Amino acid sequence: MPLKDLIIDDSLIQRLIIDGVHKDSSVTRVAHHAYGYHTPQTGLLMPAIRWISRDRKSVLVERQPELRLVEYSNKKAAYVDKESTKLYMLPMPWTLFFIQFGRDDLTRINSISICARNSSLSSEADTLYCLWLPNLMDAHMMCLGHTFNDSYSNQTTNHISHTGKLELSDAAAIAISLVWSVGFNNDAAAARPFVPDAFSDNLIEYTHGQHAMMEFWESQSLETILGWEYKTNGSTLGSLTELLDYEKPSRYKDLHHYLQYKTSESNV
Amino acid sequence: MSELINLRSDNEHSWLIVDGFSTPKVDNKTLVEKFHNKIHPPTGLLPPVVKWMSPSRRYVLMERPPTIHSVSFHSAKKSQVHLVKEHNFDLPMPWTLYAIELGEDCYPVAISIFAMRHQMRSISDVLGVLPLPNHYKTGSLCMPARDYSETAGTIGQGINLAHTISWGSGFNLDINFNINATFNAKRPLALVQNIEGKGTPLKLFRNWQKLSLEQVSQCKDWVAPLGYGTAGSYLATPINRVSHLIQKFLNDDMAKSISNPAVNLAIAMKESIAACY
């Protein structure tokens, strides 16, 4: 059975011996990488950042109930035109944005999940509900497409050229702002099982390609929509704990593997 | 050159070689998880008012809007508080910024509270000290003895505990630097005006609780905190802006983490061995 050795000596040199191959590195350098000094600074955080990943490349932002101006076309993305597009001022419940940035830096976005709640998060065990917006796959994962990431990339490049840096808080703010400004269409329409019963109770039968749902939604008050019973999608969206579960270090086989990874990062 | 740590692993287990002897073997996955959690404790759910975190996430800035805090105060040194009456005051507070350092288990080990002129807008915003007892000139709270029935475990829980400790532990006459500085400087004027004779904490609190939240929030000239030094001295580095605080925290964070891998590895190993039994 192959043996691996890790020796740290009193001059704080770390020697990893794997398969007979020695790899020396300074504990200090590795420590800085292990502790995340190579990851982006948070900057001054926007209100209601409720969770930050260890590598500071993922963040959970909570937004309180508010009215949002959104553009919606009842056609597929390729066929969106002026005639099919209308502006709606929609009351939004408590919303959660789980944003995962690219592995290399904050100028790319891997994914954005948007969830709804009737109240602010009070525990990691709280249930997350589907937001009945179009363009959300599995009723929570925003369909980003190349247009979204291109727009995001342009905006972050502008930000960097003005301020000389891109911190986590700025990146999250830009991403959320884009979610609302990019416009919605009928590419992945809100799936019927995840739309609150209030729509069908009021004879608004959800069908593809109709503005009726948006019109009904717009006519509701913030207070009313917070009283609705929201739906879970029952599979990919459960509690906050499950959403954040991906962070466990289970991908490392053993400590040597873990430190080898950090050592290679510190040699970059 | 002597060895601090010698860790040997096969495909499933790891063990330490200490003075030529092997410690019990522990499961590799358990060890990685314990080590990982030592250097990156879980965030947990953060309160929605966190404004900044250091790379290790053990140094945190938290902002609170103007609010009224109920505080208890004994006008005596700590050793004699049982001999005097307890006073309770409802003190209106301006925007405040909490600078929190969390320990290994995420329990708060240092807390400073600063008065702000307004909601934080940038890192160049100015800090002031609140004229509260049991706070040093730097704005840091003289920490009460730890209540070991309370544990943190996550960064979020540690931050919430820091807020509870700040206002729940009660004040006494042990440290009055910032109250004296406020009387001497006569600012913020709203807090000290109409007080006759020698200024005392009791007189200050009686006057302070008569003010409205709006009046306290309009105070812009809080006494500036002094810089942190070493061994009880001050002024080594002025810390009167948020940016100074962030720089100090970044330095402290980095200094603290440098020697940690070997220590953390040893602790993780010890915990993993304990978990085997």
What's the burial of A259, exposed, middle or buried (CB within 10 Å: 0-12/13-18/19+)? buried
User: In this predicted structure, what is the pLDDT of residue A253?
Assistant: 66
Reported as a single tens digit per residue, the pLDDT across B76-87 is 998 898 999 999
Establish whether this prediction's ipTM goes over 0.85: no
- For β-strands B96-102 and B108-116, DSSP reports them as antiparallel
B257 has a chain A CB within 8 A of its CB:
yes
Distance in angstroms (rounded) separating the CA atoms of residues A31 and B35: 12
pLDDT tens digits for B93-137?
A: 999 999 999 988 899 999 999 999 999 999 999 999 999 999 999
* All residues at 6 or more sequence positions from A248 whose CB lies less than 8 Å from its CB, including other chains: B33
Q: What is the mean pLDDT of chain B?
A: 87
Judge contact between B202 and B183, C-beta under 8 A: no
Of B8, B36, B44, the CB nearest to A3: B8
Mean pLDDT over A58-63 rounds to 92
3-class DSSP string for B188-207: CHHHHCCCCCCCCHHHHHHH
Average pLDDT over residues A54-76: 90
Beta bridge partners of B74: B86
For residue A189, give the DSSP letter. P
Q: What is the distance between the alpha carbons of residues B270 and B137, in angstroms, rounded to a whole number?
A: 40
The yes-or-no verdict on residue B207 having pLDDT over 90 is: yes
Cβ distance B259 to A12 less than 8 Å, yes or no, reads yes
Torsions phi, psi of A199, nearest 5? -65, -50
Residue A36, Ramachandran bin (φ over 0: left; ψ between -120 and 50: alpha; else beta): left
SS3 B87: strand
- Cβ <8 Å between A8 and B3: yes
Question: What pLDDT shows up at residue B159?
Answer: 95
Would residue B235 be called left, alpha or beta, if left means φ above 0 and alpha means ψ between -120 and 50 degrees? left
A37 or B11, greater pLDDT: B11
Cβ pair B48:A35 closer than 8 A: no
Share of chain B above pLDDT 90, in %: 53
The arithmetic mean of pLDDT across residues A234-240, rounded, is 65
* Nearest-CA distance A58 → chain B (Å): 12
The whole-number pLDDT of residue B139 equals 92
List of chain B residues whose C-beta atoms are within 8 Å of the C-beta of residue A253: 11, 28
DSSP letter at B151?
-
pLDDT class of A268 with cuts at 50, 70, 90: very low
Q: Distance between CA A214 and CA A188 in Å, rounded? A: 15
- Identify which of B152, B155, B188, B162 has the alpha carbon closest to the alpha carbon of residue B98: B162
Amino acid at A11: S
The pLDDT assigned to A251 comes to: 59
Q: What is the pLDDT of residue B190?
A: 94
Interval B28-57: pLDDT, tens: 888 887 777 777 778 888 999 999 998 888
A121 token code pair:
């998060």
Say if the Cβ atoms of B1 and A28 lie within 8 Å: no
A 168-227 residues with CB < 8 A to B: none
| CA-to-CA dists, residue A115 to A58, A120, B47, angstroms | 16, 12, 18
Q: Decide: A97 and A179 in contact? Cβ < 8 Å.
A: yes
Confidence of residue B208 (pLDDT cuts 50, 70, 90): very high
Cis peptide before B65, with omega less than 30 degrees from 0? no
Residue B29 touches chain A, beta carbons under 8 Å:
yes
Closest of B99, B33, B43, B50 to residue B253, by C-alpha: B99
A191 CA: distance to closest CA in chain B (Å):
29
**How many Å apart are CA A143 and CA A112, to the nearest integer?**
8
Give whichever of A103-117, A192-206, A217-231, B139-153 has the largest mean pLDDT: A217-231
If one compares A265 and A205, the residue with the highest pLDDT of the two is A205
Predicted pLDDT of residue B213: 95
Residue A207's SS3 state is coil
Instruction: Work out the pLDDT band at A235, boundaries 50, 70, 90.
Output: low
Least confident of A64-68, A261-265, B42-46, B115-119: A261-265
Average per-residue pLDDT for chain A: 82
Would you call A16 helix, strand, or coil by DSSP?
strand
Q: What is the DSSP pairing of strand B3-9 with strand B21-22?
A: unpaired
Give the lowest-confidence range in A149-153, A189-193, B161-165, B207-211.
Answer: A189-193
Mean pLDDT of A53-79: 90
The top-scoring range by mean pLDDT among A136-150, A203-217, A242-256, B149-163 is B149-163
Assign A67 to helix, strand or coil: strand
* DSSP at A254: S
Q: Which of A117-121, B225-229, B247-251, B268-272 has the weakest average pLDDT?
A: B268-272
What does the block give as tokens for A96? 């959660």
Lowest mean pLDDT among A117-121, A202-206, A218-222: A202-206
Burial class (CB in 10 A: 0-12, 13-18, 19+), A69: exposed
How long is chain A? 268
Span A220-229, pLDDT tens digits:
999 999 999 9
Q: Which residue has the higher pLDDT, B187 or A27?
A: B187
Interaxial angle between packed helices B177-185 and B201-208, expressed in degrees from 0 to 180 and rounded to the nearest 10 = 70
Could you give the CA distance from residue B96 to residue B120 in angstroms, rounded to a whole number? 9
Nearest CA in chain A to B32: A255
* Cα gap B174→B75, rounded to integer Å: 9
Q: Which band of pLDDT confidence, cut at 50, 70 and 90, is reported for residue A245? A: low
Chain A residues with CB under 8 Å of B43 CB are 51-54
| Each residue's pLDDT tens digit, A13-25 | 777 787 777 877 7
Kindly state the percentage of chain B with pLDDT values over 70: 89
Joined tokens for residue A115 = 């969830």
Our CA angle for B83, B86, B91, nearest 5°, is 150
pLDDT for B232 beyond 60: no
Q: Tell me A246's DSSP state.
A: G
